[in-house]
Each structure stands twice: as structure tokens, then as C-alpha cells.
Amino acid sequence: MASNNLYIKILLLLLVVFATYTKFSSATPRILALVKQNPLVLKYHKGILLKGNVNVNIIWYGKFTSTQRSIIVHFFQSLSPKNRHASPPLSVSSWWRTTANYKGVEDFCMSRCGTHRYIRGKNGKKYAYAWVGNSGSQCPGQCAWPFQKPIVGPQTPPLLAPNGDVGVDGMVINLATVLAGAVTNPFDGGYFQGPPSAPLEAVTA
């Protein structure tokens, strides 16, 4: 009988300790992360941004089928306002040029699948441009993801390319990426983080 009383006392003591612990632990806020994440903020460096009506010229470098060209052109047309009376549409097909052979471009796939820069004309005016490679023929495992299996990382099945062309659908993603950077930081004085020589821009930050 004495041993039963001892077990009951130990059990009651454990229940009191457990109830006290859960009461304090549920009322006390807990820190769930060791490091507080700072919000991502792109600093504006007071430079010129691309806004308003912007003419877009496409230079086709290499062999593209008419279907592949139409996918890219439709992407640019989708950026145009629906109400054509409000502002003129983008001038997408104002300059078409093709070359006979597609050649590799230096540093493609090394750290990016496209880029944007600017050049200065003879009149001193700056002209922004964007370049995206054909991710179907160069580095599809890097530049056509998520429509192509990645060469590194989790080997999950790729998504179905919306237009049925893995390379061109990858190019559309890359075009959207470099265009976002070109609009928000066309001449190295817009929105970005870090040094101007290696900026983290709207889509890369």
C-alpha cells in the first residue's frame, strides 16, 4: 500500500511539472529563427529608367523556325497595352536580321542565360539592349529550366513547355528576366543592390 502511495505521489508530481511547463511554454513566445531576415529592398540610384513607349527591335542570330519566331513575337506583343488607342503598341518586328549559322557566344551558360547592357551612339545618346541565347541548343539544363531537367540539383520531372518548344519557352523566361533588369536598371543607375559593377537587379536579387 505504501508503494502505491509513492507511485501516486510521483505521478501527481510529474503531472504538476508537466502542466506547469506546458503552461509557461505555450504562453511564452518562442523565437523560431536564429537570424532575422531583412526584407529585400532594391535601392534606387537616381538614374534613368525605361518607361513610356519603348521601341523593341529583335535581331535573330541563328536559325529559328517561323513558329519559334512567332512565340517570341507574341511574348513581346503581350507586353503591349490592350487598348491600342491609349498608347501605340511596341514595335517588335521593325528590324529582323538572321545569320546563316548559329555560333556559340562566349560565357553563355557560365553564370547567366542572357544579359542586358547599353551602348552609346555617335550622338552621345545611350541605347539599352538585351541579349538572350537559344536555350534549346545551348545549356538547356541551365537555361530552359523548368521545362528541361536541370543539370544540378533535384532531378524532378520537368514541366510541360506551354508552347511545346523547350528551348523557345526557356528563352521567353530568360527574356522576361533580362527585360525586367533592362527596364529598372538600363544604364547602371536604376534599381539594384550591391556595386554597379555586379548589381543584383529586380529578378536576380
Residue 14 lies in a domain: no
Domain containing residue 139: 35-192
Q: What is the pLDDT of residue 72?
A: 92
The pLDDT tens digits of the residues spanning 18-71 come to: 666 555 545 555 555 567 777 777 889 999 998 888 888 888 888 889 999 999
Q: What is the pLDDT of residue 190?
A: 92
Residue 25 lies in a domain: no
The pLDDT tens digits of the residues spanning 121-173 come to: 999 999 998 888 888 888 888 889 899 998 888 888 999 999 999 999 999 99
Sort residue 92 into left (φ over 0), alpha (ψ -120 to 50) or beta. alpha
Residue 111 lies in a domain: yes
pTM of the model: 0.67
Task: Say yes or no to pLDDT of 110 above 90.
Answer: no
114/171 Cα distance (integer angstroms): 9
Residue 141 lies in a domain: yes
Coil, strand or helix: which one is 132?
Answer: strand
Residue 157 lies in a domain: yes
The pLDDT tens digits of the residues spanning 175-201 come to: 999 999 999 999 989 999 988 888 888
Q: Is residue 40 a contact partner of residue 205, using CB atoms and an 8 Å limit?
A: yes
Q: How many domains are contained in the chain?
A: 1
Residue 160 lies in a domain: yes
